[in-house]
Amino acid sequence: MNFIENEQPLLVAEGLTKWYGRRLGCRDASFELYEGEVIAVVGESGSGKTTLLQLLSGQIEPSAGQIRYRLRDGAIADVWSMSEPMRRFLFRTDWGYVHQDPQLGLRMGVSAGGNVGERLMAVGWRNYGDIRGAATDWLARVEIPEDRIDDTPRAYSGGMRQRLQIARNLVTAPRLIFMDEPTGGLDVSVQARLLDLLRRIVSEMRIAVIVVTHDLAVARLLSNRIMVMKEGEVIEQGLTDQVLDDPHAPYTQLLVSSILPA
């Protein structure tokens, strides 16, 4: 990751708040995200991590606050003032969303190649040979053998499905990826492979990432910055190694001291 000092942020969140009726999902989250930067959102289940991710990715409308995104042409757009088709277009092209459960992010009845190619068709690719070529290339980058391109994800292992989901998201060269517990539910060797892949691809492509995880080791490995959430609020944020080596909030100290040494 390279730092351009006077760069404009890619995404700015201000006072993001979500109420589900009288129950608080997330309150007053504010931060800036720059190109190529990886932010980890950590906290226990129910702390509002996924709500924040869904707010940021335009999937649920905030009760208060706003999200501004810098489009490829440099214009700054308010995510919730833009038209629904525009927001969907952004979601299909410039953004990616990696679900913890790959079944939510993939079309299980469509071949692996089709899953990856579909995102390209959404941005106007029409030539079958080009689409297949790009799909094959991306499957190789996530270490899926070429001879599995015509299989559906149903025939894939959990780790392969997750790698396929990542390829599907990255094929349009998005500038921002949201990830919800991308390594959750995978066994450790599979998880290590996925983390290494993510780390490499994200730094090579200079993609900004907001990754929700409850695993502090994943946060340490992938992220530049951390936001710690508790009961719907961001209680501490900063440089990843600062928050993990010198946690200030009582809850963050508890989180950090609760890690079992391997």
Partner 1 sequence: MVALELSAVAKTFTMHLQGGLRLAVLHGVTFAAEPGQCLALTGPSGAGKSSILKLIYGNYRCDAGAILIRSDGAVVDIASAAPRQILGVRQRALGYVTQFLRAVPRVSALDIVAEPLVMKAVPREAAAVCAATMLRRFNVPERLWSLPPATFSGGEQQRINLARGLLPEHPILLLDEPTASLDADNRAVVVDIVRERKRQGAAIVAIVHDDDVREAIADVCVDVTQFTAAA
Residue among 146, 150, 187, 245 that touches partner 1 (CB under 8 A): 245
Residue among 78, 133, 253, 259 that touches partner 1 (CB under 8 A): 253
Taking the CA of residue 217 as centre, how many other CA atoms within 13 Å lie in the half-sphere pointing to its CB? 12
Q: Does 66 bind partner 1 (CB under 8 A)?
A: no
Q: Rounded distance, CA 235 to CA 27, Å? A: 11
Using DSSP, state whether 2 is helix, strand or coil: coil
Residue in this structure with the two tokens 């001879």, named with its chain if needed: 147
Q: Rounded distance, CA 111 to CA 219, Å? A: 32
Among 94, 204, 198, CA closest to 142: 198
Beta bridge partners of 4: none
User: What does the buried/exposed string (b/e) look like for 25-47 if buried means 16 or more CB atoms within 10 Å of the residue's CB?
Assistant: bbbebebebbbbbbbbbbbeeeb
Residue among 79, 164, 221, 227 that touches partner 1 (CB under 8 A): 221
Nearer to partner 1, 134 or 229 (CB): 229
Nearer to partner 1, 4 or 75 (CB): 4
Angle (CA) 115 118 119, round 5°: 105
Q: Does 205 bind partner 1 (CB under 8 A)?
A: no
Residue among 199, 205, 206, 259 that touches partner 1 (CB under 8 A): 199
Candidate ranges 18-26, 54-62, 107-115, 221-229; the one touching partner 1 (CB under 8 A)? 221-229
Q: Does 195 bind partner 1 (CB under 8 A)?
A: yes
Kindly determine how many residues on this chain lie close enough to bind partner 1 according to the rule CB under 8 A. Answer: 26
Nearer to partner 1, 5 or 147 (CB): 5
Q: Does 206 bind partner 1 (CB under 8 A)?
A: no
Task: Please count the other Cβ atoms lying within 10 Å of the Cβ belonging to residue 12.
Answer: 17
Residue among 2, 6, 45, 83 that touches partner 1 (CB under 8 A): 2
Among 53, 156, 78, 79, CA closest to 113: 156
Residue among 5, 73, 84, 147 that touches partner 1 (CB under 8 A): 5
Residue in this structure with the two tokens 């489009």, named with its chain if needed: 71
Q: Does 248 bind partner 1 (CB under 8 A)?
A: yes
Smallest gap from Cβ 51 to partner 1, in A, equals 24
Residue among 15, 133, 185, 250 that touches partner 1 (CB under 8 A): 250
